Amino acid sequence: MKSIFLDYNATTPIAPSVQEAMLPFMAEYFACPDGMYAQSRAIEEALEDARGQVAHLLGSTSDEVIFCASGTESCNLAIKGVVLPYLAQRQPCHIIVSAIEHAAVSQTASHCRYMGCEVSVLPVDRHGLVSAEELANTIRSDTKLVSVMLANDETGVIQPLDKLAKVCQEHAVLLHSDACQAAGKIHVSPKQLGVDLLSISAHKFYGPKGAAALYVKEGTSLHPLIHGAGAEHSMRAGAENVMAWVGMGKAANLVGRSIDDAAEKLTQLTRRFGHRLMESILEPIVIHGSQVERVPNTLCVNFPNISGQELLRRVPEICASTSCSDTVGGGNSSPVLAAMGVAEDEKRGTIRLSLGWYTSEEEVDRAADLLIHAWESMRH
């Protein structure tokens, strides 16, 4: 039986036109872009075209885009790139991250703490939102950076970054946002949001793995993590991953032209999915974050009185995930749900369903039927 892929927040398939754009750089155009010959110049031009496409998606200039190998690297460069000079000079350094960050940010912040930086963790309310007032109360005289994601990978909840940015600007503090789950799903403009640094990852929007970018606002001082030859505006040494970065550029162009149409389709599908589950399951279902703005493709659903892990085991046709890695015994250890104050039994029964371009109405209906049947069999 054909599987139903509902884990688009984990990764997306490479779009056919993106794959086609990448193919010449797997074979014919294999040279390094810094050579003096014609093939190198052609490759350099392709890379700059890709940079321009990513910049266009973000509404930035090409000079503000640094290519990276992953969203995790992008977040590391943003955070450590700000923190390292202060630590090297033994100056006071304090950073703030939210309680719902991806490990790419939370673990990086933990490492900065290990290196001597002080770290504060911003709480969220029951909807998963950070408060601008709470942020203002947490900022100190030695605060150098705030990092708050744009859209959460588990709940899809979108943060009020524009309000948080105003607080940071009032205190002359840099603001970074992990936008890996937002780029390609909603319009993402660092300038409109008011952020100084912003991370995106190509494999979240129908591009290849191994390609990501960091937006660095013009005039923002950043220390490189990888040293060597002066690639990527001297911010990231190493041979360029031409094939992947060209693919990211093509994917950025592709999603940039279709965001509104795709968002409308996905909004309808997720609404259909949620309604079908709630109408058929007699016990109360909770969709986490449903009372606030979310990206259009994500349903973080609690199935009452069962284990989400066991539920997914019973429907092998569905490719989905629990909201976080399950603990021994079928529990859910999600720090995001914990930060939102979700009760243990609700965490235990929560799964994440994330839809994408290739999700059909028929797949949504079939997946809903399979989940409903599995839940009923577990309850009775």
10 occurs within a structural domain: no
Which of 216, 240, 256 represents a domain boundary (last residue)?
Answer: 256
The pLDDT of residue 323 is 65
Q: Is the pLDDT of residue 118 over 70?
A: yes
Residues 144 and 292 in one domain: no
Question: CATH number for the domain including 165?
Answer: 3.40.640.10
The pLDDT of residue 324 is 57
Condensed to tens digits (0 to 9), the pLDDT of residues 241-295 reads 999 999 999 999 999 999 999 999 999 999 999 999 999 998 899 999 999 999 9
Residues 223 and 147 in one domain: yes
6 occurs within a structural domain: no
Q: Is the pLDDT of residue 325 over 50?
A: no
5 occurs within a structural domain: no
Residues 221 and 289 in one domain: no
**Comparing 105 with 37, which gets the higher pLDDT?**
105
220 occurs within a structural domain: yes
Mean pLDDT of 307-313: 96
Provide long-range contacts, Cβ within 8 A and 24+ apart, for 239-242: 239/32, 240/32, 240/33, 240/47, 240/67, 241/67, 241/69, 241/210, 241/211, 242/25, 242/29, 242/33, 242/43, 242/46, 242/47
Residues 245 and 288 in one domain: no
120 occurs within a structural domain: yes
Q: Please provide the average confidence, as pLDDT, over all residues in the chain.
A: 94
**Comparing 269 with 38, which gets the higher pLDDT?**
269
Split at pLDDT 50, 70, 90, the class of 379 is confident
Split at pLDDT 50, 70, 90, the class of 181 is very high
Q: Is the pLDDT of residue 109 over 90?
A: yes
2 occurs within a structural domain: no
Residues 209 and 283 in one domain: no
- Burial class of 219 by CB neighbour count within 10 A (0 to 12, 13 to 18, 19+): exposed
Is there a catalytic annotation at residue 324?
Answer: yes
Residues 360 and 298 in one domain: yes
Residues 144 and 231 in one domain: yes
Structure tokens at 280: 């058929």
Structure tokens at 237: 């040494």
Q: Total domain count for the chain?
A: 2
The pLDDT of residue 296 is 98
Residues 148 and 266 in one domain: no
The pLDDT of residue 327 is 38
- Burial class of 156 by CB neighbour count within 10 A (0 to 12, 13 to 18, 19+): buried
Residue range of the domain that includes 333: 259-379
Sorted by sequence, the CB contacts under 8 Å of residue 202 that are 6+ apart come out as 208, 209, 211, 212, 213, 244, 247, 248, 251, 252
Which of 256, 285, 307 represents a domain boundary (last residue)?
Answer: 256
Question: What proportion of the chain, given as a percentage, has pLDDT over 90?
Answer: 87
Sorted by sequence, the CB contacts under 8 Å of residue 341 that are 6+ apart come out as 126
* Residue 304 contacts residue 280 (beta carbons within 8 Å): no
Please give the radius of gyration of the chain, using alpha carbons only, rounded to the nearest integer: 21
- Give the whole-angstrom CA distance, residue 147 versus residue 97: 5
Residues 250 and 345 in one domain: no
Helices (H), 257-289: 259-280
* Residue of 75, 180, 300, 324 marked active site: 324
Residues 277 and 201 in one domain: no
Residue type present at position 315: V
Question: CATH number for the domain including 341?
Answer: 3.90.1150.10
**With helix as H, strand as E and coil as C, how does 212-230 read?**
EEEEECCCCCCCCCCCCCC
